[in-house]
C-alpha cells in the first residue's frame, strides 16, 4: 500500500462559549476520531450532510486548523509508519515515538515547518466569490504563492501565472482583472490556478462544484480529472453531490456527526450501501430519470447537535434498524468485505 496521507484518530473540537463569563461550556465535536488513509494518486471522496464535519476534516488534514487530538502523516516512508505503529502499541510514552511524531506528524508542526508544508498541500474552496480577494488582480492572486515562497523573480512570475492560467482554461486577457468581473465557473478556475501553481502533491477540494451552475460543474469536473492525470495529484474530494463524487472518486467515505460510518471503493459503495445512514442518504438523492422509480428511505427528524451527540452509535435515534446495543456502545469501523469498511452493529463481529 502506498499511502500519501495517513490520518489516525483525528479529532477537532471547537469550544462553545456561554454563561455569564463566556467560559467554555462545551465543545462542538466537528471531527471526532477519524482514521483513514489516502493512496498516492487516488481521489478519495468524502460525503455527508452539512454539519457532519467533512470540511473541518479536510481543513485539519492540511493543517489549516490545529487538531485537538490525533496524528496526520504525510508522505512518510512505510517503514517509519510501521515503526510508529509498533511503538504506539508497545508504549505510547516512548521517547522515540515522541521524536518520530515530532519529525513526521503534521499535527505537531508549527511555524516555518508548517509554512513549508503549504507548498505540498493546497485547498480549493466551495464558493469562489468569497475565496478570492476582491481587491486583488487575478495575476496577483494566482502569483501570490510564488511571491510568498520567493521561488521566481518578477518577470518569471507573470510567465508562470500565465502558463498556469492557460492550464486551467483562462488566458492572457484575464491577467489584469478583478475577480468580480468573472463568472462563477471562471472564478473557480482562478482558485484552482492558485492552488496548483506551486505544483502541490495533495489538494483538498472542498465542495468545489457546489456553488456553480450545472453546465459549469461538468467543465470543472473534467478539469479536475485532467489535472490529476497530468500533475499526478492526490485529491480529497469533499461534496454532498453524490453523482459528482461517483464520477471522480476512486473510493468514497461517508461521514455522520463527526464520524466515518462507511468507506468503500466507489463502485462497491454505489452498488451496495451497508450502513443504514448511507443507504438513506443515497436513496434521498433525486435521480435525473423520470422512469427510475425507486424505494426511498425517509429518515426521521434532523441531524442532532454535534455538541451533545447521541450515545453509542450516533445514528441510532434516526435509524430504522436500531437495536439495544446501538444505544450503548459505539460500533467500531471494521472491514466486512475487501476494502469495504463500515461502522455498524448490524455487521460488526460482537
Partner 1 sequence: MDNILEVRDLVVRFYTYEGIVKAIEGVNLQLREGEVLGIIGETGSGKSVTALSILSLVPPPGRVEKGSVLFRGRDGKFIPILKLGRKELQKIRGREISIIFQEPRAALNPLYTIGDQVGEVFLVHRLKELCKDVLDEINTELEKAQGFKAKVLSFERSLYERMLRNPESKVIKLASKVPIVRRFRNRLKKAVRKHVIELLRLMEMPDPERIVDMYPHELSGGMQQRVVIAMALACNPKILIADEPTTSLDVTVQAQILDLIRRLKGKLRSSILYITHDMGVIAELCDRVAVMYAGYICEVAPVREVFREPLHPYTRGLLDSIPMPGKELKPIRGTVPNLVNPPSGCRFHPRCPYAMDICSKSVPKLREVKKDHLVACHLYDKDGERS
Partner 2 sequence: MLQTAKSTTLKKRLEPTLRELRFILSRLKENPLSIAGIAIISFYAVLAALAPVIAPPPPKWRDPYMIPRYGFIPEPKPPNEKLIFGTTEGQYDLFYGCIWGARTAFRIGLMVVLSVALIGLVIGSVSGYYGGLVDEVLMRLTDIILSFPGLILVMALVVALGPSLDTVMTGLILVGWPSYARLMRGEVLRVKSQDFVEAAKAVGCSDFRVIFRHIVPNAIYPLLVMASLDIGTIVLSAAALSFLGLGAPVGYADWGQLISLSRNWIIGTPGQPLKYWHTFIIPGLFIFTFVLGWNLLGDALRDVLDPMMRRR
Partner 3 sequence: MAASGLRSYIIRRLLLLVPVLLGATLLIFAVSQMFSPVERASLYVRDPKQLRNIDEIIKKYHLDDPFFIQFSHWLAEVLKGNLGWSKSVNMPVARAIVEFLPATAELVLYAAPLTIFLGIKMGVLSATHRDTPLDHATRTLAIIGWSLPSFWLGIVLLAVFYGVFGLFPPGRLSVEASIYVNSPNFIRYTKLNTIDALLNGQFWIFVDALKHLVLPVATLVIINIALLMRITRSSMLEEMSKLYVMMARAKGLDDKVVVNKHVQRNALISALTVSGLLTASLLCGVVITETVFNYHGIGYWAVHAAIQLDIPAVLGFTLFSALIFVAANLIVDIMYAYVDPRIKLG
Residues that bind partner 2 (CB under 8 A): 59, 62, 64, 115, 118-119, 122-123, 125-127, 129-137, 139, 144-145, 148-149, 158, 175-181, 191, 194, 198
> Taking CB under 8 A as the rule, does residue 292 contact partner 3?
no
Residue 7 bridge partners (DSSP): 36, 72
Rg (CA), the chain: 21
H or E element at residue 54:
helix 54-61
Name the one range near partner 1 by CB under 8 A: 26-34, 85-93, 196-204, 299-307: 299-307
> Taking CB under 8 A as the rule, does residue 268 contact partner 1?
no
Q: Of the two residues 122 and 188, which places its CB atom closer to partner 1 in the complex?
A: 188
215 contact, one of partner 3, partner 1, partner 2, none, CB 5-8 Å limit per kind: partner 1
Alpha-carbon distance of 41 to 210, in angstroms, equals: 23
279-304 burial, b for 16+ CB within 10 Å, e for fewer?
A: bbbbeeeeeeeeeeeeeeeebeeebe
Q: Of the two residues 73 and 237, which places its CB atom closer to partner 1 in the complex?
A: 237
Q: Of the two residues 21 and 295, which places its CB atom closer to partner 3 in the complex?
A: 21
> Taking CB under 8 A as the rule, does residue 185 contact partner 1?
yes
Give the residue, chosen from 1, 2, 22, 271, that forms a contact with partner 3 under the rule CB under 8 A.
22
Q: Of the two residues 31 and 263, which places its CB atom closer to partner 2 in the complex?
A: 31
Could you give the 3-state DSSP secondary structure of residue 164? helix
Site for partner 1 in 134-163 (CB under 8 A): none
- Residue 203 is placed in which grid cell? 489538494
Q: Of the two residues 95 and 290, which places its CB atom closer to partner 1 in the complex?
A: 290
Please give the full DSSP string across 193-241, using - where no structure is assigned: HHHHTT--SEEEEESTTTTS-HHHHHHHHHHHHHHHHHHT-EEEEEES-
145 contact, one of partner 3, partner 1, partner 2, none, CB 5-8 Å limit per kind: partner 2
In whole angstroms, the minimum distance from the beta carbon of 257 to partner 1 comes to 13
Alpha-carbon distance of 201 to 232, in angstroms, equals: 7
> Taking CB under 8 A as the rule, does residue 306 contact partner 3?
no
CA torsion 165-170-172-174 (nearest 10°) is -110
Q: How far is CA 146 from CA 123, 142, 177, 194, in A?
A: 16, 8, 19, 10
Contact indicator for 11, 46 with CB cutoff of 8 Å: no
Quickly count: other Cβ atoms within 10 Å of residue 101's Cβ. 17
Q: Of the two residues 108 and 210, which places its CB atom closer to partner 1 in the complex?
A: 210
276 contact, one of partner 2, partner 3, partner 1, none, CB 5-8 Å limit per kind: none
Could you give the 3-state DSSP secondary structure of residue 28? strand
Name the one range near partner 1 by CB under 8 A: 34-42, 71-79, 108-116, 245-253: 245-253
Q: Of the two residues 119 and 225, which places its CB atom closer to partner 2 in the complex?
A: 119
213 contact, one of partner 3, partner 1, partner 2, none, CB 5-8 Å limit per kind: partner 1
Site residues, partner 3 (CB under 8 A): 18-22
Amino acid at each position: 500500500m502506498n499511502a500519501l496521507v495517513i490520518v489516525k484518530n483525528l479529532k477537532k473540537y471547537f469550544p462553545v462559549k456561554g454563561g455569564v463569563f463566556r467560559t467554555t461550556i462545551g465543545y462542538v465535536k466537528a471531527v471526532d476520531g477519524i482514521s483513514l488513509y489516502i493512496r498516492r494518486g487516488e481521489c478519495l471522496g468524502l460525503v455527508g450532510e452539512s454539519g457532519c464535519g467533512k470540511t473541518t476534516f479536510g481543513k485539519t488534514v492540511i493543517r489549516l486548523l490545529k487538531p485537538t487530538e490525533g496524528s496526520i502523516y504525510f508522505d512518510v516512508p512505510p517503514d517509519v509508519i510501521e515503526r510508529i505503529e509498533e511503538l504506539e502499541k508497545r508504549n505510547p510514552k516512548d521517547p522515540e515515538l515522541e521524536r518520530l511524531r515530532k519529525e513526521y506528524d503534521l499535527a505537531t508542526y508549527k511555524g516555518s515547518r508548517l509554512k513549508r508544508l503549504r507548498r505540498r498541500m493546497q485547498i480549493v474552496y466551495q464558493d469562489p466569490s468569497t475565496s478570492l480577494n476582491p481587491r486583488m488582480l487575478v495575476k496577483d492572486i494566482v502569483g501570490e504563492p510564488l511571491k510568498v515562497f520567493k521561488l521566481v523573480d518578477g518577470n518569471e512570475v507573470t510567465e508562470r501565472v500565465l502558463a498556469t492560467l492557460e492550464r486551467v482554461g483562462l488566458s492572457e486577457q484575464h491577467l489584469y482583472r478583478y475577480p468580480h468581473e468573472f463568472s462563477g465557473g471562471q472564478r473557480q478556475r482562478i482558485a484552482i490556478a492558485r492552488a496548483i501553481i506551486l505544483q502541490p502533491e495533495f489538494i483538498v477540494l472542498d465542495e468545489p462544484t457546489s456553488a456553480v451552475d450545472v453546465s459549469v460543474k461538468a467543465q470543472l469536473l473534467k478539469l479536475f480529472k485532467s489535472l490529476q492525470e497530468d500533475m499526478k495529484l492526490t485529491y480529497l474530494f469533499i461534496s454532498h453531490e453524490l453523482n459528482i463524487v461517483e464520477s471522480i472518486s476512486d473510493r468514497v467515505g461517508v461521514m455522520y456527526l463527526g464520524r466515518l460510518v462507511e468507506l468503500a471503493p466507489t463502485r462497491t459503495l454505489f452498488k451496495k450501501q451497508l450502513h443504514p445512514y448511507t443507504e438513506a442518504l443515497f436513496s434521498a438523492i433525486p435521480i435525473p430519470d423520470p422512469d427510475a422509480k425507486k424505494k426511498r428511505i425517509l429518515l426521521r427528524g434532523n441531524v442532532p447537535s454535534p455538541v451533545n451527540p447521541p450515545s453509542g452509535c450516533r445514528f441510532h435515534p434516526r435509524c430504522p434498524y436500531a437495536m439495544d446495543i446501538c444505544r450503548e456502545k459505539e460500533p467500531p469501523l471494521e472491514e466486512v468485505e475487501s476494502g469495504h469498511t463500515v461502522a455498524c452493529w448490524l455487521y460488526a463481529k460482537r
